[in-house]
Amino acid sequence: MSAPFREAVVDLDAVRANIAGLAAQVAPAEVMAVVKANAYGHGAVPVARAALEAGASWLGVAFLDEAFELRDAGITAPVLAWLHGPDALFAEAIERDIELGVSSIDQLRRVADAAAHVAASRASASSTASRTPTAAAAPAAVHLKIDTGLSRNGVPPEEWADAVAFAAVLEGQGRIRVRGVFSHLANTDADADRAQLEAFEEALAAASAAGLKPEVRHLASTAAAVRLPASRFDLVRVGIGTYGIPPYGDGTTAADLGLRPVMTLRACVAAVRRVEAGVGVSYSHTWRAERPTTLALVPLGYADGIPRHASSRAEVLLAGRRRPVVGRIAMDQFVVDVGDDEVAVGDDVVLFGDPATGAPSADDWADAADTIGYEIVTRVGQRVPRTFGHGA
């Protein structure tokens, strides 16, 4: 029986195992499973459900439309979205009980205005319309983000005192509830992470001095959650660890961290041909056969997220062995050299998966493309069907 033409197999049992293992390691801190970017290419809704079943108590996304997708699927767990444009639909997010990461005083003002609109709409639709909103009933739950050194999103340190003071006023008016304070580490080195940790603790002290009492303080993603226990606070945001890919780039493997790779990207051999020595392969003939050899065609290419930079550098698992990709990776296909071994149309080809099976890992492909494992799984395109299974 032929292998599937092309598919990304997502092992939901591996998601559960990764979340459960990390949750046990970071306890008593809670776990937020980050499912932004379609769960790093794995499928947001199925992964979110599996993560929640395994012990995650929060879900994290970048954009509001990603949060809306989770709510549309009937997921009611706490969801935090933290990256917003000037036209962000804050009122809809508040109506749908989505918690909002706030990274500037202007955003805080806009969220408060949206919250006032929602409160007024609720009051007009309620039989108790005359009731005055209180802080406990505030419709918008926000997490204030402080930039502790990543120099991307977040309230600049010099504006933090004004931001927390303003947030305290809005909370007193019943327009918002400051449920969380958070930041993000650069994961540069231990000294830099500790410096950011100290900056975060100073920000928390300033928030407390302003009268705020956040329930949830969070700083660590997978990398720090594992190696910097002091960064765990009340909640850790588990992104790449959910998917069984190590975050470090130092040779640490998934197995070293007790993680299982979640995605297996596979296809079947679409064509086989025998060529003589000297024959060029694919565009520009950047690779030529040094001897008579057999070539297998794999129907995946850079339109599917296969990195062109991995041309003549990556390997696949085919016919029981790892085989080299040869020639340029094209939009829809690439070529594998199998030497004198026998392969046939329909044979299974695994680009990456669990190294315990003999397959390359996503990190192996990342090394071949001079990138990181995050990019390899996240860029797998939508024309590659996702198959959700167990023990894939």
Which residues does the annotation mark as catalytic? 36, 283
- Helical packing angle, 44-53 and 12-26, nearest 10°: 50
Residues 6+ apart with CB under 8 A from 109: 166
Tokens of 89: 């639909």
Residues 6+ apart with CB under 8 A from 388: 10, 12, 43, 46
Tell me the H-state helices in 125-234. Answer: 157-172, 190-209, 222-227
Distance CA 229, CA 4 (A): 43
Tell me the H-state helices in 222-317. Answer: 222-227
Residues 6+ apart with CB under 8 A from 188: none
> Could you tell me which of 314, 280, 313, 311 has the C-alpha nearest to residue 295?
280
Residues 6+ apart with CB under 8 A from 255: 355, 356
Distance CA 283, CA 351 (A): 21
End-to-end CA distance of the chain: give it in Å, rounded.
18
**3-state DSSP assignment of residue 89:** coil
- Can you say how many angstroms the Cα of residue 142 is from the centroid of all Cα atoms in its chain? 21
Distance CA 143, CA 178 (A): 6
The phi-psi region of residue 48 (left if phi > 0; otherwise alpha if psi is between -120 and 50; otherwise beta) is alpha
CA separation (Å) from 387 to 7, 46, 47, 49?
A: 7, 10, 12, 15
Strands, E, within 12-61: which ranges? 30-34, 58-61
